Amino acid sequence: MSPALEIQLIAVLVAVACALPGCFLVLRRMSMMSDAITHTLLLGIVLAFLATHSLTSPFLIVGAASVGLLTVWMAEALQHSRRVSEDSAIGLTFPLLFSIAIVLITRYADSVHLDADAVLLGELAFAPFDRMIVGGADIGPRAAWSMGCVLLLNLAALSLFFKELKLTTFDPVLAALMGFAPVWLHYGLMAAVSITAVAAFQAVGSILVVAFMIGPPASAYLLTDDLRRMVVLSALIGGLNAVAGYWMAAWLDVSIAGSIAVMTGLSFLGVFILSPSRGLLSVVRRRARQRMEYRERIVLIHLHHHEGSGTEAQESGIDSIHRHLGWPRPLAEAVLRRLEERGRIRIEGGVAKPADADRPEGGE
Amino acid sequence: MSALSLFHDYTFQVVALGAALLGMTSGLIGSFAVLRRESLLGDVVSHAALPGIAAVFLMTGTKDTVWLLVGALCSGLAATGFILGVVRYSRIRFDTALALGMSVFFGLGLVLLTYVQKIPNSNQAGLQRFIFGQAAILLKGDILVIAVTGAVLLALTLLFWKELKLLSFDPEFARSLGLPTRALNVLLSAMTVAAIIAGLQTVGVILMSAMLVAPAVAARQWTNRLGVMVGLASLFGAVSGVAGTLASSAAAKLPAGPAIVVAADVIVLVSLAFGRARESRGRRGRAADRVSRA
């Protein structure tokens, strides 16, 4: 495989592996937890490195995943003290663990190649240089293998616990009543997020893992109401972002991970504006239509109210009604015209009257 | 060098003064962010500043702090606008919009930075310092930026005190009174962005968010009055700024940014342990908590 293909393969693997747990983060309103975890896994990596003095040992993953869980636990403990709100709890926890990591790096690991930049920013272009050698044979880039394993792990966990995850996500109280253990599923999900983030950070950097985890599910969330479809769509959108991002990076000769994040943003923006049921355009159109329907109703109520009264000519006159409604004149005229076109009112001698068919049944 | 003689050291004076001013400003603004449950906006805005910094450098080639900060301010505001717009016009919730805005803007910043790097003769050294912050190389000009920003923010807070207070505790009531809540929201967000951007180069992107949250959370434990909380938060911010720089100067290889954050978190711990103000949330709040915890 050429390096270009290998990079795209890794990018797609990262994107799909991240999108799976990401769906549940978005639905459970825990998106910012991914940000916290991706920052604090630096501490896990530092601690494991100080213990083993190796940057490739599996303890790195164990260490980082444990610190990920520690982050979640600390934030929740703070929150459950009821003296700190959820967002503040997250905002207190991860900078502290991150600071400890930076201090440890500066003091004890300065001489080796373990700097915060590398962890936070990552570089996909270097991924093909790190080969997986088994028995002397080169079987591909290491990142592809590790991401592939994580993807399989996530897929297995998702298909095994799909029903449970769905229930605890949408109705945690019912899930608890039915004897499921939301807490274990919660920490299981957080472990999946941590492990995925650890595997992905070397390729794309820990900050952009957040884009991979949250971006595609956010887009998919605007396209469907079905959880299964949302998971599949997120994986698909993530994969497309990865390939499109790679080609943009190749064309402009810039950071690949950054360019995939930009693609993630652009694809979200497209969905946000154009989504048929939940896009900006349809929301704006729907709100405008509701506003118009409301105005028509107000006019009809007004006409019914004053019909046959002594002041009807004033109150319902097409030249004066806008003053009584407190509307600008063109608006009142437009609403009257719309109502007349549909036969809901008739205009007699400059006075608007509700059409007979529009009279409420069994009226006054 | 003993702690006492440190106070006569010029570099230390400059850095400590900058950190103290920054702590005061972020305590002031952070109080509102914490009360409005927007603590994480700090983290987001400080990441989102990157494309602005890179774009200004790309277009003008300047490394003048003030212009880079203007760029950071613009992209920080753009990200905030993006987040508020997404929440307003779709069913995407605040946390998701925050995470998305942060990572996409940061990615764009990375793209621009790598683009800058390949332009011949462009020496982008110094841009990195915005990402991770280096209090040790604070200059007098930087202090001036922090001081001016802090003064303007303080003046704005005092000017709109009543409105901001109402907005933080009961936005619905504020709207029913006819206050321009949307304009006030934008004002408060802009103030938050300005406070963050001013502190970026002292403590860096990631740690700036802690400076916004920690002093305010600590202050909240001691009082139920907004005025006292803002005052205490500023005090705690200033104290952690000075304590962090002091520790960083006294011990070798101890970067100032993390030291300031750890100092602030120590204050939080003490406040959580001994603070007397109880959140009087009533039974409804506690019952809701139990349900959401289940």
- Interface check for A225 against chain B (CB to CB < 8 A): the answer is no
Cβ-count burial of B104 within 10 angstroms (0-12 exposed, 13-18 middle, 19+ buried)?
Answer: buried
Cross-strand bridge partners of residue A353: A346
A254 at interface of B, judged by CB pairs closer than 8 A: yes
Contact: B107, A84; criterion CB under 8 Å: no
Distance CA A288, CA A294 (A): 10
Closest CA to B218 of B171, B170, B268, B260: B268
pLDDT at A154 over 90: yes
| Helix, strand, coil abundance in chain A, percent, nearest 5 | 75, 5, 20
DSSP A115: -
Alpha-carbon gap, residue B32 to B213, rounded angstroms: 10
- B110, closest residue in chain A (CA to CA): A258
CB A277 within 8 A of CB A224: no
Q: What is the ipTM of this complex?
A: 0.84
pLDDT of residue B2: 55
Summarize pLDDT for A4-59 with one digit per residue, the tens.
888 899 999 999 999 999 999 999 988 999 989 988 888 888 888 888 877 667 78
Enumerate residues 6+ apart whose C-beta is below 8 A from B179: B163, B166, B167
Q: Tens digit of pLDDT for each residue in B81-130?
A: 999 899 988 889 999 999 999 999 999 998 998 888 776 545 555 555 55
pTM for this one? 0.84
Q: Which residues of B260-277 are buried (b: 16+ CB within 10 A; e: fewer)?
A: bbbbbbebbeebbeebeb
Q: Distance from B177 to chain A by nearest Cα, in Å?
A: 20
Both tokens of B171, joined, read 């936005």
- Provide the pLDDT confidence category of residue A277 given band limits of 50, 70 and 90: confident
> What does the pLDDT look like over A200-223, one tens digit per residue?
887 777 778 999 999 999 999 999
B89–A280: do the CB atoms touch at under 8 Å?
yes
A contact residues 313-342, partner B, Cβ 8 Å cutoff: none
Radius of gyration of chain B (CA): 20
Q: For B173-213, what is each residue's pLDDT tens digit?
A: 888 888 888 888 888 888 888 888 888 776 777 678 888 99
Per residue in B248-258, pLDDT tens? 888 877 888 88
Tell me the helices (H) and strands (E) count for chain B, helix number first. 14, 0
Q: What average pLDDT does the segment A101-128 reach?
A: 70
Higher pLDDT, B59 or A19: A19
B86, B110, B289 member nearest A272 (Cβ): B86
Contact B86, B105 (CB under 8 A): no
Please report how many Cα atoms fall inside a 13 Å half-sphere around the Cα of residue B231, on the Cβ side.
7
Instruction: Mention every residue, 6+ apart, whose C-beta is less than 8 A from residue A109.
Output: A46, A49, A50
Chain B contact probe: residue of A31, A208, A234, A263 with most B CBs at under 10 A: A31
Between chain A and chain B, the number of residue pairs with CB atoms below 8 A apart is 214
Predicted pLDDT of residue A17: 94
- Chain B interface includes A207 (CB < 8 A): yes
CB contact under 8 A, A278 and B286: no
Q: What is the mean pLDDT of residues B147-164?
A: 92
Which of A82, A98, A218 has the CB atom closest to B206's CB atom?
A: A98
For residue B176, give Cα distances in angstroms to A70, B33, B172: 43, 22, 6
The amino acid at B262: V
Residue B267: is its pLDDT beyond 90?
yes
- Chain A partners within 8 Å of B210 (Cβ): 91-92, 95-96, 99
